[in-house]
Structure 1
């Protein structure tokens, strides 16, 4: 009704102005003429006001009907200037967002539970595989089992990263131990692809989360395995610079092109390096990639020296 009040004020102000004009400045003006003019104006304004109130009431009823709906209404009421509409849509969108979040959390919980359930028969299958007497058959069976194990670990890690329960434990970590653990995790595929290893990592301490750092190394070494061709070589070394430590991993393949997937030999989702970048961002580490086509690919992870911060 604010608009109706505004219209009434805008009507009476000009009326007052012309009354004062005629009464004070115009001589021999007839009071009856003014009365007749006032009645005529009031009738016209009354008709206008009635139509105005009817339209506003109709709009208000339409808005109230939409306000009871479960969907957003801003598109249908784009001509309305009302904070209630914006608040209504905000509440609807917040509720939809919360429902989607709960759905995603439920899906993550289901995937996590499913992965843990699958790990039990997978471990049993790996144990049975180790007891097979035929070496050739044992190796043939172990490869898909190891791939399943790696994919399960990737799925679990992906759920943890996206979860609100993602937890980091930053503490001094022996970089050499993390490298060894990652090599052990990938040893089957490294041996299968006949990798030559050159590890030059001293007993360097960095501030990181050992679990996630090992996962990052697993992904990078796994990439080397996926794209390996003839005489692959994996070089890992670390060098300390002022206030930072650089850990480098280099893949050297004879005739390496890094495009196996385009030849149909390997299908990649591209999620591995994405997960690596997400984890390192959360760990506040930096990663850089350098590649020479057909020669090598090198990833450099930079750890900032936080010893001064911890007064060590």
Structure 2
């Protein structure tokens, strides 16, 4: 530590000695007595050594305090919050910079902890929800051995798996998405065919009208429409679903139970199940949250309207993109 301290004072000591030598030269030119010069030199050396020794022990004390604080902290990024404010201008600027870095690190750690907690909560809910189709498949295999019912429950399990995979990929969707030209009508028909077993089981009727060529990520858009279909099948069995394409808009509507007006603004919030979800008891409240996040990443404007016991309408307005 002594070596580092002396190196930090080297410039200051150098200028002091340069100043001293200049004054010594002046004293010699004006014929100041040697005894006076010797006394001044001794005083200069004494004061300089006193300053160095005092500064060394002062900085050593501050260093030991900081070292002890670092050892006590569970998170090193919190160090900026407990450091004593410096007095010098340069040290104060370094202190402000360290505080900014510390606060940014704390914010990132807190965000990471929140994300980890939210992910853990969702996984726990997802495990609870996926038990339903798994249990149903076990019962079917043990008793009825109905292949059609088995396929239906397998599709439900597959949809739940797709949900958690898309949730896990939300942070990387920006670099993973592939924007290409697609027929919107073809995408809608593919999703309906993929969910045919669930739609038949829920006695749903689906009508698709119109077409448009859009630039979007095929898998992400399929997930969005797929989630709307599975929600309708879950909450509105027997309802009619209409998907109309007008220009760059897709209007998805079912004539099911609808959504209460005071819940409408919250249905895309993370983990919000609403009164319909609470009735079922197995809803995670994550489906429409993922849909909303994917729409943001794909620059799709999402508008939702509903009337309780009448209809629910999702309007997806696609951006006017061209292939890059």
Q: TM-score, normalised by structure 1?
A: 0.60
* 8 Å contact kept, 1:277–1:287: no
The residue number in structure 2 matching 1:184 is: 193
How far apart, CA to CA, are the structure 2 residues paired with 1:211 and 1:255? 27
Gap regions ≥5 residues in structure 2: 1-5, 264-272
Q: Flag the structure with more relative contact order, 1 or 2, with Cα contacts below 8 A and sequence separation at least 6.
A: 2
Q: Which is further off, 12-21 or 245-254? A: 12-21
- Picking from 4, 14, 23, the partner of 2:9 is 4
- Picking from 198, 204, 210, the partner of 2:218 is 210
What CA deviation, in whole Å up to 9, does each residue of 1:23-43 have, x standing for no partner? 789xx9655334323323322
Gap regions ≥5 residues in structure 1: none
Higher gyration radius (CA): 1
How far apart, CA to CA, are the structure 2 residues paired with 1:194 and 1:54? 84
From the two aligned structures, give the one with the greater helix fraction: 2
The residue number in structure 1 matching 2:314 is: 299
**Closer, same or farther: CA 17–71 of 1 in aligned 2, 3 Å:** same
- Picking from 17, 40, 43, the partner of 2:43 is 40
The residue number in structure 2 matching 1:238 is: 245
Cα distance, 1:237 vs structure 2 = 0.4
SS in 2 for 1:265: helix
Give RMSD over aligned pairs. 5.2
How far apart, CA to CA, are the structure 1 residues paired with 2:243 and 2:57? 80
How far apart, CA to CA, are the structure 2 residues paired with 1:158 and 1:166? 15
From the two aligned structures, give the one with the greater strand fraction: 1
* 8 Å contact kept, 1:289–1:297: no
How far apart, CA to CA, are the structure 2 residues paired with 1:197 and 1:71? 55
What CA deviation, in whole Å up to 9, does each residue of 1:192-211 have, x standing for no partner? 44434332134x33233333
Cα distance, 1:56 vs structure 2 = 5.0
The residue number in structure 1 matching 2:236 is: 228
Report how many residues are paired.
271
The residue number in structure 2 matching 1:272 is: 287
